[in-house]
A and B are shown apart, each in its own frame.
Chain A
């Protein structure tokens, strides 16, 4: 589906799925992570190049063989440079180990807390996601040379970390959510890849928060098509055409969420997914259950104590209890937050103070951090000024 051009004819999603397992095989044969990952990346590029004309009967076997050869070549070159013996046997040792553990370990390693988020995202996309460096660079709109360095620095940073300890699941989830939410160039559907990686992780672990994140992604993905109008303009939730929401994705997200919630180990992603599910469940904006949404924001606040959650909660309070209540709630939120002014503009408009709202919308447009938000807020300012007749 995704991926066009030079690699047309190759099932790229199959290739991508195989990458972490192949890195795992090389690791069990004695290769260190950094070298194994490089070798598999080379094999992957070779596969994209040769498979269209010459598809292998056993794709995984092909990848393992080619990657292992690349690894041995690199290791021999390195050891002859250093004048010492090759540290691994040229013949692969026998004895399979569970591949699921390998893949799970890769998630933790690539999203290790010592890595800056951008590095963790890049490394996760390459080693767990099976994307090429070029695809990752294109997605992030940076030169390939920069992405090569970003990834090799990240690998050096984690080279000496012990791999046998359980990793930090919270950072893994944060990295996957970043992958899902960032804006991307290039021709790879990165949000779709984030969902695939979350699905795979959910199959490997039994943590309700992983299910919560997957549900959250599915529920947002279900609305993606309705979130932008002509020319990429942003369509706010209340104005989205709900007939365009993907009901299959919503049903799947809700089912996954319900199973997770039944475990009674609430976490931030489950709470966020619950809010998204309540929106998805409303036949119209007017029928949204804002009272329950505010309750979920209270839960979320108890877990995270995040200023952004406090801000979103104030807007929900404005819907549940009226704009004055919303403004009171907003008064307790740090005014320096992005979108604080936009929230104030919205609540003042609802409270009937159009002049104030128009000024605040215009100011919020100046403070916006993205083009769609800036353009949306500029239109809102213009709309309210028109209502004012000025």
Chain B
């Protein structure tokens, strides 16, 4: 079963720990955080559970059609939006419980002072391509 672990720059429940924003960490603390994430991904590769991981720029825009013959309308960048996605990891695991366990581990990545940041991560199951029942 595949799950998306979604990391947000902003949005989600109230943070459990008001951690210092990343740009105010020391370079070593940033390195330690990145190392934790990449070790986590390598470990999942070894367990055969890793599918994909991607970070997103906080720049970008909303886009919509404005009718035939007219250029699409854009809105953004999202300086004001309440919810901003930072990136994701896709895992392929045996159960929801395992997905939650892994997201919990990922959320414990170290921040300022080497303390776990306990950030909220969103875990969403993939819809499969085939119906579950036989008919």
Secondary structure type dominating chain B contacts: loop
Q: Which of B47, B128, B132 contacts A153 (CB 8 A)?
A: B47
* Complex contact B127–A370 (CB within 8 A): yes
Residue-wise interface mask of A (341-379) relative to B, using a CB-CB cutoff of 8 A (1 in contact, 0 not): 000000000000000000000000000111111101000
**Total count of chain B residues near the partner, CB < 8 A:** 21
Alpha-carbon separation in the docked complex, A376 to B128 (Å): 14
Interface residues of B in 77-135 (CB under 8 A from A): 92, 94, 125, 127-135
Contacts of A374 in B (CB 8 A): 127
Interface residues of A in 145-192 (CB under 8 A from B): 145-147, 149-151, 153, 181-183
Alpha-carbon separation in the docked complex, A276 to B51 (Å): 36
Contacts of A140 in B (CB 8 A): 92
Alpha-carbon separation in the docked complex, A99 to B47 (Å): 33
The verdict on B48 contacting chain A, using a C-beta distance below 8 Å, is yes
The verdict on A74 contacting chain B, using a C-beta distance below 8 Å, is no
Given contacts A116-B94, A370-B127, contact A146 B132 (CB under 8 A): no
Given contacts A118-B92, A181-B130, A339-B133, contact A369 B125 (CB under 8 A): yes
B20 to chain A, nearest CB (A): 34
Given contacts A117-B94, A142-B92, A146-B48, contact A338 B132 (CB under 8 A): yes
Residue-wise interface mask of A (248-281) relative to B, using a CB-CB cutoff of 8 A (1 in contact, 0 not): 0000000000000000000000000000100100
Q: Which of B51, B92, B128, B130 lies at the interface centre, i.e. has the most chain A CB atoms within 10 A of its CB?
A: B130
* Complex contact B50–A143 (CB within 8 A): yes
Given contacts A368-B127, A370-B129, contact A143 B134 (CB under 8 A): no
The verdict on A291 contacting chain B, using a C-beta distance below 8 Å, is no
**Total count of chain A residues near the partner, CB < 8 A:** 37
* Complex contact A183–B132 (CB within 8 A): no
Alpha-carbon separation in the docked complex, A145 to B131 (Å): 28
Contacts of B2 in A (CB 8 A): 141
- B94 (CB) vs chain A CBs: closest residue: A116
* Complex contact B129–A372 (CB within 8 A): yes
Contacts of B131 in A (CB 8 A): 234, 370, 372-373, 376
* Complex contact B132–A371 (CB within 8 A): no
The verdict on B49 contacting chain A, using a C-beta distance below 8 Å, is yes
The verdict on A220 contacting chain B, using a C-beta distance below 8 Å, is yes
7 pairs of residues in contact across A and B, judged by CB atoms under 8 Å: A119-B48, A142-B51, A143-B52, A181-B134, A182-B130, A220-B134, A369-B125
- What residues of chain A have their CB less than 8 Å away from a CB belonging to chain B? 116-119, 140-143, 145-147, 149-151, 153, 181-183, 220, 223, 227, 234, 236-237, 276, 279, 312, 338-339, 368-374, 376
Q: Which 8 A-B pairs have the closest CB atoms?
A: A150-B48, A183-B130, A183-B129, A149-B48, A370-B128, A237-B135, A373-B131, A371-B127
